[in-house]
A and B are shown apart, each in its own frame.
Chain A
């Protein structure tokens, strides 16, 4: 075979092969999984959840505290992708909003969703000002949402905002007023709770809202101020995900871990398991 081809032809053949291999690998690397992907990113102490639907609608819920969220999100997206459809901020806190500023810097964001309870004027912290200034500077649409809103993001996939409602007491802490949402794909559902604590849990549990979910993101990084028993009984999840990293607050608390186990949930933790990725086809749990 070597004799048949001239040197020039061989060169062309090799180039062709290299290009073909390159494109195959690139195509393989960017093929969608045809599933609803929910990635609980390990961004240290802080929350960050990246959701990608079968038709490539992309959501980012919170962004951890620093720029490491960029790396983690980038590794879960096709490499050419610089768009995010929704960025959802549960509440303004360093370990939830910090990384979103970097995200707004590097990505084309469709809309930023914040709760109606977050008011730019009353939040006089540096972080809040920086965040809202960044939104204004990049010209991203800011959408206010509240309990009862439903967003259809793909065929059969929607998320509901469960909390905070319009009439929450004004004296509540920021954590209590964090966004709670439920992502539903046919029979599978995810309950994402931000940093909500006992008051919000009690209100939700008593207000006759369907809290049942397959996967629960445990509130406030597994702190003992959240995940009360009556709330966990209502949720009845199969898997509990705790987004926690190295911290000085003692998260997650042993009592909470015990409570979760007693309710029959399997516990996954970002500090032990690294990045936690779930792929569902609507009936996977």
Chain B
């Protein structure tokens, strides 16, 4: 069995078990219509089983799972107003508007600094405001498999968190840097209106951070599960109706499950082409195989992220992008720069201090991204 999943199942504890049970409960309740009598029977029988078998240590964990399965089941069915379909869900959803004034200010700053296709790209990527992405641009982006970069996704939050952490560790100790960068991230997520994938990434980061502090071994898979549980407890209908939620979780799950083995296979590719690794070429071979994170790893990330999400994208959008691995490597590498330069352009645009000068690098980068999009969207 695959190592990561094996570890996850062997080291299962009460928290993980209850989360798993809860998520499954909500999932079953939301995708299947169960008769009320069946619900009644399950609800009445489970506590009985739990009480009777609680002393038995072997099946304590499964019983906990069952209990929380029922809890999740009830949470979905007793929760008020379940929307009929995704459309109704999206109509009823309200955006979080805590610091919308700041967001508007930055958005105006970007308008001030850059012109239409460039400013709309940065508005979408930095501020999560997709209103300026026209229908045609949106089509080109989905055809090239890059539509996820114009919404603030978990990847954005992760990259931003790493940038902040790196900058802060230059001045203060790691311990404080983690806390401060997490605080800034939370603030940022609230500013951009708390889109679901960003919340997911934020909760995961928080879980990993807490694990680090209390000295528990941190597992990303577990953090993902906790994030899912927290969000489903808050609003159980997202598991069925929020497309962003589904894509975001499946993408991360795909990366966690498939990336390691894929990467291991890809690392062997260069060895096939270098016949005689003992001579001068050995240097290249060792570089390509022993360097931990190479272009092949990026390829592995994009493919494994698509592995679980592509059935969904075909189902919802009728799109399957063949060029996605290539375009993602070409564009995802620039993401840290995009975020930094986008913020610089927005801030200096809002202050109206030489906006065009500070937006010049941002303009160059967005020209590059639009060029990639136009080349691959034939």
Contact = CB atoms under 8 A, between A and B. Distances in A.
B364 A26 contact: yes
Contacts of B114: 79
B117 A79 contact: no
A68 B115 contact: no
A137 to B, nearest CB: 17
Residue among A26, A70, A75, A79 with most chain B CB within 10 A: A79
Contacts of B118: 74, 79
Interface string A106-117: 100000000000
A22 B361 contact: yes
B69 interface: no
A26 B368 CA distance: 13
Interface in A40-76: 67-68, 70-71, 74-75
A80 interface: yes
A134 to B, nearest CB: 17
Given A71-B116, A79-B356, 8 more contacts: A22-B360, A22-B361, A68-B134, A70-B115, A74-B118, A79-B114, A79-B360, A79-B363
Contacts of A79: 114-115, 118, 356, 360, 363
Interface in B236-260: none
A71 B364 contact: no
A83 to B, nearest CB: 11
B341 to A, nearest CB: 11
A156 B115 CA distance: 32
Interface of A: 22, 25-26, 29, 67-68, 70-71, 74-75, 79-80, 82, 106
A80 B360 CA distance: 8
20 contacts: A22-B360, A22-B361, A22-B364, A26-B360, A26-B364, A29-B364, A29-B367, A67-B116, A70-B115, A71-B116, A74-B115, A74-B116, A74-B117, A74-B118, A79-B115, A79-B118, A79-B356, A79-B360, A79-B363, A106-B115
B361 to A, nearest CB: 6
Say which size band chain B's interface belongs to: 10 to 19
A102 to B, nearest CB: 9
Interface of A is mostly: helix
Nearest to A82: B356
A26 B117 CA distance: 18
B160 to A, nearest CB: 21
Contacts of A106: 111, 115
B13 to A, nearest CB: 44
Nearest to B114: A79
A272 to B, nearest CB: 17
A82 B134 CA distance: 22
Contacts of A29: 364, 367
Contacts of B367: 29
A71 B117 contact: yes
Contacts of B363: 79
Contact of B115 (A22, A25, A71): A71
Nearest to B361: A22
Nearest to B136: A68
Nearest to B360: A26
A80 B354 CA distance: 10
Interface string B59-87: 00000000000000000000000000000
A22 B368 CA distance: 13
A173 B233 CA distance: 66
Contact of B364 (A25, A67, A68, A75): A25
B116 A70 contact: yes
B338 to A, nearest CB: 15
Residue among A29, A74, A82 with most chain B CB within 10 A: A74
A79 to B, nearest CB: 5
Interface string B99-137: 000000000000100111110000000000000001000
Contacts of A80: 356-357, 360
Interface string B334-378: 000000000000000000000011001101100100000000000
A29 B364 CA distance: 9
A26 B115 CA distance: 16
A74 B121 CA distance: 15
Contacts of B356: 79-80, 82
A76 to B, nearest CB: 11
Q: Which 4 A-B pairs have the closest CB atoms?
A: A74-B115, A71-B116, A80-B356, A70-B116
Residue among B115, B356, B363, B364 with most chain A CB within 10 A: B115
A151 B248 CA distance: 59
A97 to B, nearest CB: 19
Nearest to A66: B134
B79 to A, nearest CB: 42
A106 B118 CA distance: 14
Contacts of B111: 106
Nearest to A107: B115
B28 to A, nearest CB: 47
Contacts of B115: 70-71, 74, 79, 106
A106 B108 CA distance: 12
Contacts of B361: 22
Contacts of A67: 116
Contacts of B357: 80
A71 B367 CA distance: 12
Contacts of B116: 67-68, 70-71, 74
Nearest to A30: B360
A82 B111 CA distance: 12
Interface string B10-29: 00000000000000000000
A186 B182 CA distance: 65
